[in-house]
Structure 1
């Protein structure tokens, strides 16, 4: 098992590198293709598309280890050529561009070196590849070499005119630095790592949708807008969302927080079980964000406290109205009903925001539960007495 697991590692790394490298390609080439879209495993490893037609196919090759050399006899070269001969109409001068992207370095004096953008010599590349196709005895490349020779001289030259070799591509461990370099214009001072983590999260989600076929491609304009939206979350009027609803396991949280005061407070007014579970999720997300924002220096304690004070002030007004509706001899059932109505009413009021442009309603809802957990606010008319008793029991 150990040997098999080890032998699979390079392939796994190669697939991961292909997905990550696609983001580099999107960032470095997207500006020149504003109306294009990038796809994964649709036409090729990576491909550019315009108006529903592939405009460039990219084969992405990753090799572990530095200073590896790509030659005209390499299996990578002939496997790639065979893929394109099978699927990319090699003799069609108007066919999509073809790019071999490799972490290896093209050896000097080879056809692959002659197909690099900065050392281009298509006729020399043709001569050298024809020589290898006729003289090599490799069983691994035999089918591809024979197919290449069967194209005919003019078709072979047309084929090579569409090919470029991008060698010395960054290894998987260097891709993150490449992404950071391409996004230097957007990095929020002091929060660079968090911003990049959010970009990577967006890309991983997007790449998964592409690979699963839920999304055909990612438009350059949409990608630019998504990254700009992430950057916008680091302005003075906004905040980044770091824990999405999809990140949370509601059942686990319900078990974890079942004895917390804010949960007990909801039980005291018979809050519906499903909505109670959602309230626990709101509490967790709001509490986690408050801690993370403070740790990342995205918000100050004074600003957060001011928001909490506004929530308490709002609650005091509504709580007083609730008490005013209850008779002096009101029973527990009446108090439960009134408290449930108060809780529902305040959870539906999300006009108060911690910042003007951060208006995700979970945060105001969750912060009310944070305050209820400390006993600053409550829903049942007798919550203060009950909280005091609860704290005595837990002491």
Structure 2
């Protein structure tokens, strides 16, 4: 049962129904959080595998360590969401999550053996991966009727990611990748400090829907949606786990590798910026199918033509499709397919199944493919997985024409 004082995940719908806006939005404190959260991700995602490689771990060990980082997304959001509901103090929960992230990441300085790092990655990521969904709810609660300002706040997350990627590429080139843990710890401390500046939002009363969620999830169209989302994130396994290592093997310097990551983020920002226009001009289903096709091409270009910088740049621009446009229409699907009382649980399931389950399995399978066949086998398999997702979506997936509970037809 939802705690009556917690701004639950149906917040957007509630605020649009007439809640009074906050007198003042804490723009700076909210932006600080997103900046440090994504800056720490910008340090982790492109360079952590290079650090693990410097410790002489095998590709399978690296893939397992990255998999556990992603696997905590399967359970952490739900557990921490329940804790925030139960206590009615989501900001305090977020602050504890930030503090424990710092504490457990600090274990990296005690022992760098595989088992120790596995425990560190599991515990650290359990707390770090759980706080963002709670923060999204708090941000929207503060914005209330100023929901259009969300992009102005979230933008600082992308800025933090890009600056971290660029700066660390230079630092690693000039000095050593061994500095990475200390830099990540510094950013995590910044993240924790930013949570201390966040104020508790005004309370909203939310009611939990009665029954029917499992029955809703088991409907064929929604099952197909989760399968497609799972496969899409599974296909990202080679990219998130071995892209930096692969580029390093091809002779690209760390600064250029960072720029390649940033190009993908810039393409992502561009698509998010115009997404409302794209969805006005094209159906959400068409955008999803095109996103899947472009993702097939992207993984093929990286796996078989990465020696060509021009084609590699094109592949990174396609991040706009493999993440941004695909993710945007998936959020839209959940909004349409899940009635208001289940919207938050639908979004949590989407994150858990796709980014958690698909991402973790993708990292493990990428390691196996990389060991047996190298980059071509790994990224080639990703392209095949995306092609399968396209076929499944093309044949079976339909987007509801209206929100569930308001109309029954799909289109």
Query: What TM-score comes out, normalization by structure 1 length?
Result: 0.23
Higher relative contact order (CA 8 A, sep 6+): 2
Structure with greater helix share of residues: 2
Higher Cα Rg: structure 1 or 2? 1
TM-score normalized by the length of structure 2: 0.22
